């Protein structure tokens, strides 16, 4: 039988030809990292067999309570990844695994936890080649014993010791030569017990070069990394401040092996986690749960638990990824990519601050460009002269010389690959920042107030026609419309349903009634006074609408006063409906994608155009989506460019869709949503945050929409 001593190692590039395997070598090498995944081609051979290998050299250590690779502290910007495909289930073709890796790299992700088993070896080969840090997790989970209070859990049963050790041995022996693998993980949600402790002991003896991870060892008695799932921001800060009474935990590096539950619309609050990771050196990042929605293709939609007649299932709880089942990125992935971008560009006193947040490499591989836009229209562009910045450093560079513009203008600076990389072409943007140049001028309304007329059983004011009984706008420039009127409801998100939705329903916010108190049409203004409230509830919202005709536009001032006990609201604004032919949207404001108060870092100010159908985010389980923020003006038009225009004073949020919020709330699959004859438009002054309460913390206090006295102004006119 051949032994390790019979095998010979060859690494031609390093001048190694027939070195006995297992004996030490001292070689001048370039270290492997996720940012610079340097591999050396080699081979292992015996008289009977030759095996090609790709070798990466790097060190892993825990030093001064920090996880370090090649002597440098890491910040893990990671995701959890299950092996899943919408057609083939757990059998993931190599080209799909490659697509995952490329998509991760292009969205600034640098790490993967292989939840909850060692993946197909092909995936780890790709991580070695393209550069991703990996927590390689043993195939162990017993969390079904949790509801039984862990009675007879195998982790504490001596009869299971050999089986536990066998699983760990197979994991380590198979993957021990992967440079991408930096900690070993004993498994997932298996409580604790001596069998797990034995796994950790065996692993350290077999491979002393990597630390051991396991979140279930809450006392950290046999692991090398303090790990938590779904810790709140406050808990992470406490850990960063080393306030833990457990001395062992306090002195270990901390990871969130799961956080930011990406179920449906969300997660919110990722920026605040990043700020904590950067503020406290012992808090070294984490892994968003999770990478991919686990939907299965079923005709014209993706199916989930319960769609196949099974009695026991998790419903749509398996639909919780940053990408949809077909690997289409969700808005959550765009938000995560922006928050974890390795180059940060910000306004600073005296110029533009450019910071390098890579762990190892400089910015020598990047080109910095800028574009000046006025009212969302490009004016001029150029190259920003940024010196090479080393990892962890920043520089201040002067603003480029810019021409004067007549309106609101923004400078957008981007950092992009100068040359193509293995994972992205030249010009791929890894980071960007948007800097204000000149503020928006004050809104100027046209001169000349128009009086209110009564004609043909209607009220007429400027370009608008109103119902004399309800005071509601029924036509704008000859186009039939419905509304606008106050609305506070949104189709609940997965996170809403886990935190606030029951409170909102108990308050009756989904079934508001509008009682008209008075319609005053005697002067130049049309004033409609209402009380908006759910039936059989003590609380409501006194809402006054004041319409004024100014030139070719209608100005609407909305004043909202709480009447009775107050809590939180899903959103606060107006809803209206316009002809379905108005299917094209153009706006100046935040975009191009959706954004919410605690998930808006990826939105930039610009001029954008989308079809109404393209404004929708097709979450596998339908829910609130598509909100655009900080909109200065919006045009909804038909194929000939005719339609309506809405102006902010100064800005508003909007959604536009071909179904009502009630229809969206009732839908369980995207195929349930059927386009109607109208475009339903919401115009909001505020939205409640998203949070990640579907499995994790709820909405942070600063993003909770509290009922309070509010006033806002919008303009309405005809788009030609």
**Tens digit of each residue's pLDDT (9 = 90 or more) over 210-224:** 999 999 999 999 999
Sign of the C-alpha dihedral computed for residues 203, 205, 211 and 212 taken in this order: positive
Three-class DSSP category at 706: strand
The pLDDT score that the predictor gives to residue 1 is 41
> With 90 as the cut, is the pLDDT of residue 406 above it?
no
As a whole number, mean pLDDT of residues 366-393 equals 97
Contact assessment for residue 132 and residue 422, using Cβ atoms and an 8 Å cutoff: no
Give the count of alpha carbons within 13 A of 219, CB side only. 6
650-676 average pLDDT score: 97
Q: What value does the mean pLDDT take over residues 623-631?
A: 98
Indicate if the pLDDT at residue 452 is higher than 90: no
Helix (H, G, I), strand (E, B) or coil at 99: helix
Distance in angstroms (rounded) separating the CA atoms of residues 430 and 591: 18
Which of these, 289, 190, 276, 187, lies nearest to 230 by C-alpha position?
Answer: 289
pLDDT at 326: 96
**Three-class SS of residue 666?**
helix
Q: Which pLDDT score is estimated for 443?
A: 86
Question: Residues with Cβ < 8 Å from 302, sequence gap 6 or more?
Answer: 86, 293, 295, 296, 319, 324, 325, 620, 669, 670
Residues 191/150, Cβ–Cβ less than 8 Å: yes
3-state secondary structure of 613: helix
Is the predicted pLDDT of residue 65 greater than 50, yes or no?
yes
What is the number of residues in the chain? 720
Of 569, 584, 529, the closest CA to residue 684 belongs to: 569
* 28's tokens: 């001048």
User: How high does pLDDT run on average in the chain?
Assistant: 95
Q: CA 352 to CA 411: how far, in whole Å? A: 11
Handedness of CA 212, 216, 220, 221 (dihedral sign): negative
> Is the full-model pTM beyond 0.85?
yes
Judge contact between 560 and 572, C-beta under 8 A.
yes
Please state, in angstroms and rounded to a whole number, the distance separating the CA atoms of residues 542 and 686. Answer: 17
Q: Which of 1-15, 501-515, 574-588 has the lowest mean pLDDT?
A: 1-15
Distance of CA 602 to the CA centre of its chain: 9
Cα–Cα dist 206/20, whole Å: 20
Helix (H) or strand (E) holding 170: helix 161-175
**pLDDT for residue 175:** 97
Q: pLDDT above 90 covers what percent of the chain?
A: 92
The predicted model gives 504-519 an average pLDDT of 96
DSSP annotation of 470 reads: T
pLDDT confidence bin for 4, thresholds 50/70/90: low
CA atoms within 13 A on the CB side of 274: 20
Closest CA to 229 of 263, 254, 256: 256
H or E element at residue 645: strand 643-657
Q: Which two tokens stand for residue 86?
A: 């919408």
In the DSSP assignment, the letter for residue 197 is H
pLDDT band per the 50, 70, 90 thresholds, residue 418: very high
- The pLDDT assigned to 566 comes to 80
Which of 386, 306, 401 is CA-nearest to residue 345? 386
**Structural element, H or E, at residue 113:** strand 111-113
494 and 266 Cβ atoms separated by less than 8 Å: yes
Q: What is the mean pLDDT of residues 388-403?
A: 96
For 277-314, write each residue's pLDDT tens digit: 999 999 999 999 999 999 999 999 999 999 999 999 99
pLDDT band at 5 (very low <50, low <70, confident <90, very high): low
Asked if 628 and 655 touch (Cβ cutoff 8 Å), the reply is yes
Residue 358 is encoded by which pair of tokens?
């890579």
Q: What is the DSSP letter of 94?
A: H
Question: Would you place residue 8 in the very low, low, confident or very high pLDDT band (cuts 50, 70, 90)?
Answer: very high
Q: Which two tokens stand for residue 514?
A: 């509008």
**Strand runs labelled E in 471-570:** 473-476, 479-480, 482-487, 513-520, 525-533, 540-550, 553-563
Of 70-74, 192-196, 455-459, the poorest mean pLDDT is in 455-459
Q: What is the mean pLDDT of residues 419-426?
A: 97
CB 472 within 8 A of CB 516: no
Could you tell me whether strands 283-288 and 254-259 are parallel, antiparallel, or unpaired per DSSP bridges?
parallel
Would the pLDDT of 153 be above 60? yes
Would you give the end-to-end CA distance of the chain in angstroms? 85
pLDDT value for 455: 80
Nearest of 646, 667, 643 to residue 655 by alpha carbon: 646
pLDDT digits 0-9 by tens, 524-551: 899 999 999 999 888 999 999 999 999 8
Q: Based on the number of CB atoms within 10 Å of its own CB, is 522 exposed (0-12), middle (13-18) or buried (19 or more)?
A: exposed
Per-residue CA distances from 350 to 280, 353, 365 (Å): 28, 9, 26
Q: Which residues are catalytic?
A: 189, 258
Residue 627 pLDDT exceeds 70: yes
Percent of the chain scoring above 70 in pLDDT: 99
**Where do the DSSP E strands lie in 174-289?**
181-185, 212-213, 226-229, 254-259, 283-288
Give CA–CA dist 444/216, Å, rounded: 61
Give the per-residue pLDDT at 525.
92
Percent helix, strand, coil in the chain, to 5, is 20, 40, 45
């Amino acid at each position: 039988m051949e032994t390790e001593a019979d095998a010979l190692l060859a690494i031609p590039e390093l001048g190694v030809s027939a070195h006995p395997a297992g004996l030490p070598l001292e070689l001048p090498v370039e270290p492997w990292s996720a940012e610079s995944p340097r591999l050396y081609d080699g081979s292992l051979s015996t008289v009977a067999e030759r095996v090609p290998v790709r070798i990466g050299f790097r060190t892993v250590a825990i030093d001064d309570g920090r996880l370090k690779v090649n002597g440098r502290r890491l910040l893990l910007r990671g995701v959890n990844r299950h092996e899943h495909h919408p057609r083939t289930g757990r059998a993931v073709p190599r080209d799909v695994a490659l697509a995952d890796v490329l998509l991760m790299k292009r969205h600034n992700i640098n790490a993967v936890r292989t939840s909850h088993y060692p993946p197909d070896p092909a995936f780890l080969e790709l991580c070695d080649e393209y550069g991703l840090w990996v927590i390689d997790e043993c195939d162990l989970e017993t969390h079904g014993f949790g509801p039984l209070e862990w009675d007879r859990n195998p982790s504490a049963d001596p009869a299971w010791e050999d089986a536990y050790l066998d699983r760990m041995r197979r994991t380590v022996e198979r993957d021990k030569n992967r440079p991408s693998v930096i900690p070993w993980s004993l498994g997932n949600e298996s409580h604790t017990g001596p069998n797990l402790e034995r796994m950790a002991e065996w692993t350290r003896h077999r491979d002393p070069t990597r630390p051991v991870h396991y979140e279930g060892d809450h006392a950290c008695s046999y692991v090398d990394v303090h790990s938590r799932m779904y810790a709140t921001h406050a808990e992470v800060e406490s850990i960063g401040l080393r306030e833990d009474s457990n001395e062992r935990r306090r002195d270990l590096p901390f990871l969130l092996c799961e956080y930011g539950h990406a179920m449906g619309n969300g997660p919110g609050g990722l920026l605040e986690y990043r700020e904590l990771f950067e503020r406290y050196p012992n808090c070294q990042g984490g892994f968003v749960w999770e990478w991919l929605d686990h939907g299965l293709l079923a005709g014209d939609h993706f199916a989930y638990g319960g769609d196949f007649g099974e009695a026991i299932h998790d419903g749509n709880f398996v639909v919780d990824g940053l990408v949809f089942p077909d690997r289409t990125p969700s808005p959550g992935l765009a938000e995560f990519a922006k928050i974890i971008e390795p180059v940060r560009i910000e306004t600073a006193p005296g110029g533009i601050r450019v910071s390098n947040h890579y762990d190892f490499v400089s910015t020598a591989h990047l080109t910095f460009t800028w574009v000046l836009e006025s009212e969302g229209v490009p004016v001029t562009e150029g190259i920003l002269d940024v010196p090479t910045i080393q990892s962890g450093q920043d520089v201040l560079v002067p603003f480029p010389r810019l021409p004067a513009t007549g309106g609101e203008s923004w400078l957008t600076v981007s950092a992009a690959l100068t040359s193509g990389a293995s994972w992205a072409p030249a010009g791929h943007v890894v980071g960007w920042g948007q800097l204000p140049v000149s503020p928006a001028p004050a809104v100027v309304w046209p001169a000349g107030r128009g009086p209110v007329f009564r004609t043909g059983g209607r009220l007429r004011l400027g370009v608008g026609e109103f119902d004399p009984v309800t005071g509601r706008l029924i036509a704008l420039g000859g186009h039939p419309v419905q509304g606008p009127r106050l609305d506070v409801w949104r189709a609940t998100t997965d996170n809403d349903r886990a935190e606030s939705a029951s409170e909102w329903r108990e308050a009756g916010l989904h079934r508001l009634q509008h009682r008209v108190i008075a319609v005053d049409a005697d002067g130049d203004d049309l004033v409609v006074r209402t009380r908006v409230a759910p039936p059989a509830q003590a609380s409501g919202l006194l809402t006054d609408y004041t319409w004024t005709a100014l030139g070719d536009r209608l100005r609407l001032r909305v004043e909202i006063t709480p009447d009775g006990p107050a809590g939180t609201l899903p959103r606060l604004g107006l809803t209206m409906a316009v002809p379905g032919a108005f299917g094209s949207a153009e706006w100046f404001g935040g975009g191009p994608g959706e954004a919410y108060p605690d998930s808006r870092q990826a939105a930039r100010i610009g001029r954008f155009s989308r079809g109404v159908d393209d404004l929708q985010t097709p979450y596998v389980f339908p829910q609130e989506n598509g909100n655009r923020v900080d909109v200065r003006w919006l045009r909804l038009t038909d194929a000939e460019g005719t339609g309506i225009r809405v102006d902010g004073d100064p800005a508003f949020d909007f959604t536009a869709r071909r179904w009502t919020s009630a229809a969206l709330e009732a839908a369980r699959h995207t195929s349930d949503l059927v386009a109607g004859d109208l475009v339903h438009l919401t115009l909001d002054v505020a939205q409640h945050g998203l949070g990640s309460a579907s499995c994790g913390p709820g909405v942070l206090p600063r993003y909770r929409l509290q009922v309070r006295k509010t006033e806002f102004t919008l303009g309405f006119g005809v788009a030609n």
